[in-house]
């Protein structure tokens, strides 16, 4: 199986997720683009967001995903994240019902309690997807959905670009990045008991190129992908 290291063209120094996001937290919301995740979530036909009574937001970061869910009418959202710096900003945003410092693979949240489990832009930090999908399945109530938005493996392979940020020092820092092919998601999620019910990809298009003109050569390549996994009711 190929790994990200086989494609890495940047060779930035790499740190673990908690260290990296603690460092990125103060500038994160200014650098992340809604086209990567919120715009993709808006295109999904399911779940019916306003009918989701209780959501688990895994890798909740500064609360961007939680804020988006609130705007769709989701009223109870429990968030977990490993980075204290990101959680502090999520607390200030106030979109979540509860917030806890925990790993997405062992959240400590109640089992069978959520009709939505969501994780946006986090799975590239996990070496193996099985523990994530297994924990998501444990949290899920009958009929639940699990929505996963991922940095697209094709984009990672074409650009050789890890998830990274540039601190004040000006030297970019990569945050532990793992390559997961689409088939790895399907195998791990199916093995955990999920069924794939929708999938959508965000492409580098005109809207992207207005924000990132230097990516013109990448027009048409998929940048992110959203999976909707479901359980029978």
Ligand X SMILES: C[S@@+](CC[C@H](N)C(=O)[O-])C[C@H]1O[C@@H](n2cnc3c(N)ncnc32)[C@H](O)[C@@H]1O
115 contacts ligand X (rule: CB under 6 A):
no
124 contacts ligand X (rule: CB under 6 A):
no
59-80 in b/e form (b: 16+ CB < 10 A) is bbbbbbbbbbbbeeebebbbbb
**Rounded to an integer, what distance in angstroms lies between the CA atom of residue 216 and that of residue 9?**
18
- Measured from the CB atom, the residue of 81 and 115 that comes closer to ligand X is 81
Supply the minimum distance, in Å, between the C-beta of residue 150 and ligand X: 11
Contact 194, 133 (CB under 8 A): yes
**Rounded to an integer, what distance in angstroms lies between the CA atom of residue 137 and that of residue 83?**
23
83 contacts ligand X (rule: CB under 6 A):
yes
Cis peptide before 151 (omega within 30 of 0): no
Which residue is at the shortest CB distance from ligand X?
A: 61
65 contacts ligand X (rule: CB under 6 A):
yes
180 contacts ligand X (rule: CB under 6 A):
no
230 contacts ligand X (rule: CB under 6 A):
no
Binding site for ligand X (CB under 6 A): 17, 21, 32, 37, 59-61, 64-65, 80-83, 86, 103-104, 120-122, 125-126
């Amino acid at each position: 199986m190929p790994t990200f290291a086989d494609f890495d063209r940047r060779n930035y120094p790499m740190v673990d997720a908690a260290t990296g996001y603690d460092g990125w937290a103060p500038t994160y919301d200014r650098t992340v683009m809604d086209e990567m995740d919120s715009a993709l979530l808006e295109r999904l036909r399911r779940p019916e967001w306003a009918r989701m009574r209780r959501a688990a937001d895994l890798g909740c970061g500064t609360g961007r995903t939680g804020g988006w869910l609130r705007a769709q009418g989701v009223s109870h959202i429990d968030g977990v994240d490993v980075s204290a710096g990101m959680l502090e900003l999520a607390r200030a945003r106030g979109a979540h019902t509860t917030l806890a410092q925990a790993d997405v693979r062992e959240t400590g949240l109640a089992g069978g309690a959520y009709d939505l489990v969501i994780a946006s832009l986090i799975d590239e930090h996990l070496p193996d997807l099985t523990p994530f999908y297994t924990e998501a399945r444990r949290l899920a109530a009958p009929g639940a959905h699990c929505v996963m938005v991922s940095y697209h493996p094709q984009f990672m392979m074409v650009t050789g670009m890890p998830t990274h940020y540039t601190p004040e020092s000006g030297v970019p820092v990569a945050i532990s990045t793992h390559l997961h092919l689409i088939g790895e998601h399907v195998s791990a999620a199916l093995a955990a008991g999920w069924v794939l019910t929708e999938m959508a990809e965000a492409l580098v298009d005109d809207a992207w190129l207005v924000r990132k003109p230097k990516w013109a050569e990448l027009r048409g390549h998929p940048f992110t992908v959203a999976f909707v996994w479901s359980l029978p009711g």
